[in-house]
Amino acid sequence: MAFMFSSLPGVAQKYKTAEDTAKLNKEYVNITNDIVDLNAKLQIAQNDLPGYQSKARDANSDAVNAASASSDQASKATSGSVSDAKTAKRKANKAYNEAKDSRSAKGKVSDQENKITRYKLDIKKKQQRLEELDVMRIAIDTKIASDSIPQPQQ
């Protein structure tokens, strides 16, 4: 049971003494820079998402139109000539390719949404770590202040 608690974040402080302040400050700056970088990447990903969504809608529309044209041509080919059958096959291949493009575009939208979710989660984790570092800094400052107060002699 004690092992479980020692592995939880925030249970044991990494920085405890005044000598650790420089290391704490360095980690704090690094994490702050990471958050800034992640926020920039998040903003870019969020700005790109509507473009991916638009492409996916267009690709889906193209796939639907190609499938409809293929179906119409296939109807003609059943009672038509060999050239009608060849045209139907070409349109069927085009419809198939458009469907693959649509599926690919939807996958890119999903990937972009996942990327946004990952960035948000990473930012949240980094912000939690900053909060932990703030608690450690307060503990160190409190210890320094209490150590600097002269103790009454008995």
Tens digits of residue pLDDT in 38-51: 999 999 999 999 99
- Residue 79 has phi, psi (to 5 degrees) of -115, 15
- Taking the C-alpha atoms of residue 120 and residue 127, their distance in angstroms, rounded to an integer, is 10
Quick one: DSSP state of residue 153? Answer: P
Mean pLDDT, residues 87-110 taken together: 90
Q: Is the dihedral of CA 53, 110, 129, 38 positive or negative?
A: negative
Spatial CA neighbour of 35 closest among 126, 121, 115, 114: 126
- Residue 80: the pLDDT is 76
Range of weakest confidence among 10-19, 71-80, 133-142: 10-19
Give the max Cα distance, the chain.
114
Contacts of 66 (CB under 8 A, 6+ apart): 91, 94, 95, 97, 98, 99
- Taking the C-alpha atoms of residue 29 and residue 35, their distance in angstroms, rounded to an integer, is 10
Amino acid at site 11: V
- Residue 13: the pLDDT is 66
Per-residue pLDDT tens digits for 6-20: 334 444 568 888 888
Q: What percent of the chain clears pLDDT 90, i.e. is strictly above it? A: 49
Contact 77, 88 (CB under 8 A): yes
pLDDT band at 151 (very low <50, low <70, confident <90, very high): low
- Residue 82: the pLDDT is 85
Contact 92, 124 (CB under 8 A): no
Highest-scoring range by mean pLDDT, 88-97, 98-107, 116-125, 138-147? 116-125
Contact 39, 30 (CB under 8 A): no
- Taking the C-alpha atoms of residue 24 and residue 47, their distance in angstroms, rounded to an integer, is 34
- Residue 11: the pLDDT is 43
The position carrying tokens 């320094």 is 144
Per-residue pLDDT tens digits for 114-127: 999 999 999 999 99
- Residue 8: the pLDDT is 42
Mean of pLDDT over the chain: 86
- Residue 12: the pLDDT is 54
